[in-house]
Amino acid sequence: MADATRRNLLKAAALLPLAATCGGLAFAAERVPAAAPVKARFAVETARPGRRVSDMLAGFSYETLQLADPAFFSADNHALVELFRALNPHGVLRIGGNTSDYTIWSGYRGELPVQRTRKGGPQRPFVLRPEALEALAGFLHATGWKLVFGVNLKIGVPAMAAELAKAVQRAVGDRLLAIQIGNEANNYEADYAAFEAAWMPYAAAIRAAGVPIAGPDSGANTDWVIAYARRHGRENVFLSRHYYRDAAPKGSITDLLGGDPEFLGEVGQIMQAADAARLPFHLSEANSYYFGGRDGVSNVFASALWGADFMLALAQRGVAGIQFHGGTLESVEASLGRDAAAGATGAELSARRDAVTSRYSAIAGDAALGFQPRPLYHGMRLAQQFAGARMLPGRLDAGGANLAAYAAQRDGALLLALVNKDAARDAAVAVSGLRGYGAGRLMRLSAPSLESRHGIVLEGVDGAAAGSAVAADANGDCRVALPRGSAAWLRLDRSV
Ligand code: BDP
């Protein structure tokens, strides 16, 4: 369908009167495009609440090298502070990435070996100074966020890590959730046993200093997380690993929106180990495609639908937080041993902000140019609306389209998120099982197309664009028109 037709459809869906949106016809006949929408069903089971969604669900991860400019994470960086706060008043900022394993603490006076560089990794050490930690503390205070901070395991100097850990704790106080030791050590330690041998003296030194730790902060190694949980659960405040769908050259919108059921299965295994150890589990670094993200995929509207669906799928399984990796192009390219291309000079401000930002970052900009949300930010924000709610089981019959659906309960209200990841098929979703819930609001996450970089609208946040009125009927049924490449979220109040 042409973009214009699609836009009309979205507009039509937004304008549908109450009866036509919930409990009646999904699409107004005169505006219906040639192909009829796929008929989908979502049966919600309100009697069996599942996991509570953590307040910390939506968070960010940045390279340690981002601290090279103390003006970036600073209380005076009002635009960034505002974007963090609007996303999540209880978020987690994780500092780490490849550059954490090449970071030297300026306060350390002992001997240091020269670190060997490797292809595809940072090519020079980064010297972290106290001013950056002071500024970071101000940023955390201004945002209300907590900190997870990674120290250099690769260099093999536990004493420097312990001193840095203490300095971080001194600077940020109880905003420090935990120190992580090493970033994706699976990339440089031969196996889990070798990692553990290198890790032990670090863990001992940092814990002896009275600073909490978390880990193992491994790459795609579920077995490491499980082994670590069994052996070190009691010493840690949470468990972690990373996630990327694949390498950037393999990225495409179809691949991203195709989902990753295998990974969700692994999350199930990790959650068993986490529950047994009574520890939360975070994806402490995650995004669509590693090697810096894929232009035209990681930074377009498709990533917003992916992000919302991914986060809610993980929240349903009990994952406490997902820290989406990003930041300036310079910091991420340096983490991969590459130089950032020069930014677009003379272009309009929003294009210049984009040009200085890593391809998968949910926020674009830097301290000099200011900041703006990328599409992914809006998807994260949709998922964060479920914080504090209890996820409910539900059965989705997607009618052959690529859909996802989630339901949750909070303070007597019912929340629904319906995501149409299909590029070709509109859907009409018949939601059932909502008896006891009545009127509410339907809010859309939409953009001109899956490829859009700008023009993303998330209704129902910031008090602006509050969506449209909806209601479940007396049977607990509600119909939602869900145009291709868009999402909707609903909030229904108890009817009695
Ligand atoms: C991760 C690293 C991070 C990189 C990222 C990427 O921890 O430093 O920036 O991959 O390749 O493995 O994009």
Ligand 1 contacts CB of residue 150 (under 6 A)? no
How far apart (Å, rounded) are the C-alpha atoms in residues 171 and 33?
A: 59
CA 323 – ligand 1 centroid, Å: 13
What would the CATH number be for the domain defined by 58-384? Answer: 3.20.20.80
Q: What is the pLDDT of residues 107-120, one digit of tens each?
A: 999 999 999 888 89
CA 294 – ligand 1 centroid, Å: 13
User: Is the Cβ–Cβ distance between 425 and 84 less than 8 Å?
Assistant: no
The predicted pLDDT at position 463 comes to 67
Ligand 1 contacts CB of residue 285 (under 6 A)? yes
When pLDDT is cut at 50, 70 and 90, the band that residue 341 belongs to is confident
Compute how many other C-beta atoms are within 10 angstroms of the C-beta atom of residue 8.
Answer: 15
CA 232 – ligand 1 centroid, Å: 25
Nearest to 36 by CA among 14, 9, 72: 9
Atom of ligand 1 lying closest to residue 292 CA: 13
CA 334 – ligand 1 centroid, Å: 10
Pure H helices in 43-128: 78-87
- Going by CA atoms, what residue is nearest to atom 9 of ligand 1? 332
CA 120 – ligand 1 centroid, Å: 10
Compute how many other C-beta atoms are within 10 angstroms of the C-beta atom of residue 26.
Answer: 21
CA 194 – ligand 1 centroid, Å: 22
Report the alpha-carbon angle 64-89-139, nearest 5.
Answer: 40
Query: Residue 94 is inside which H or E element, if any?
Result: strand 92-96
The predicted pLDDT at position 34 comes to 57
Question: What pTM was computed for the model?
Answer: 0.94
Ligand 1 contacts CB of residue 158 (under 6 A)? no
The predicted pLDDT at position 27 comes to 45
User: Is the Cβ–Cβ distance between 87 and 59 less than 8 Å?
Assistant: no
If one residue of 188, 290, 330, 338 were mutated to test the ligand 1 pocket, choosing by the most ligand atoms within 8 A of its CB, it would be 290
Q: At residue 223, what are phi and psi to the nearest 5 degrees?
A: -60, -35
Ligand 1 contacts CB of residue 332 (under 6 A)? yes
When pLDDT is cut at 50, 70 and 90, the band that residue 474 belongs to is very high
User: Is the Cβ–Cβ distance between 422 and 466 less than 8 Å?
Assistant: no
Q: What is the pLDDT of residues 15-68, one digit of tens each?
A: 443 333 553 334 444 444 558 999 999 999 999 999 999 999 999 999 999 999
Atom of ligand 1 lying closest to residue 63 CA: 8
| DSSP-derived 3-state class of residue 403 | strand
Pure H helices in 157-282: 158-172, 192-208, 222-232, 253-257, 261-276
What would the CATH number be for the domain defined by 4-51+388-494? Answer: 2.60.40.1180
| E runs forming strands in 345-495 | 363-366, 370-373, 390-392, 394-397, 403-410, 413-420, 427-432, 437-446, 457-458, 468-471, 478-482, 486-494
If one residue of 188, 285, 299 were mutated to test the ligand 1 pocket, choosing by the most ligand atoms within 8 A of its CB, it would be 285
CA 66 – ligand 1 centroid, Å: 13
Q: DSSP letters of 420-448?
A: E--SS--EEEEEE--TTEEEEEEEEEE-S
Q: Where are the domains of the chain?
A: 4-51+388-494, 58-384
* pLDDT at residue 13 is higher than 60: no
Ligand 1 contacts CB of residue 97 (under 6 A)? yes
